Amino acid sequence: MKNIILSLVVSLLLAPNIASAANPFIDIRDQLDQLNEEVSANTTAINNLRSIQVYVNGIRRGTLMEPRGGNFINATAIRLFLESEYIALLSTAGSGLLEVPLSYQSNDCSGQSYLAVPDMNPVAARQGIVMRNNAPISNTLYYAPAGSAIESISKESQTIGGICDDIPTTPIDAVQVIINDSTITGVIPSDFVGEVTIGY
The identity of residue 83, as a single letter, is: E
Output the pLDDT for position 3. Answer: 53
User: For residue 74, is pLDDT > 70?
Assistant: yes
- 139-162 pLDDT, tens digit per residue, is 999 999 999 988 999 999 999 999
Number of structural domains in the chain = 2
Q: Greater confidence, 99 or 19?
A: 99
SS3 180: coil
Are residue 43 and residue 57 in the same domain, yes or no?
A: no
Q: What is the pTM of this model?
A: 0.71
The identity of residue 65, as a single letter, is: M
Are residue 37 and residue 104 in the same domain, yes or no?
A: no
Average pLDDT over residues 63-86: 88
Are residue 21 and residue 75 in the same domain, yes or no?
A: no
Cβ atoms of residues 67 and 80 within 8 Å:
no
Label residue 39 by pLDDT band (50, 70, 90): confident
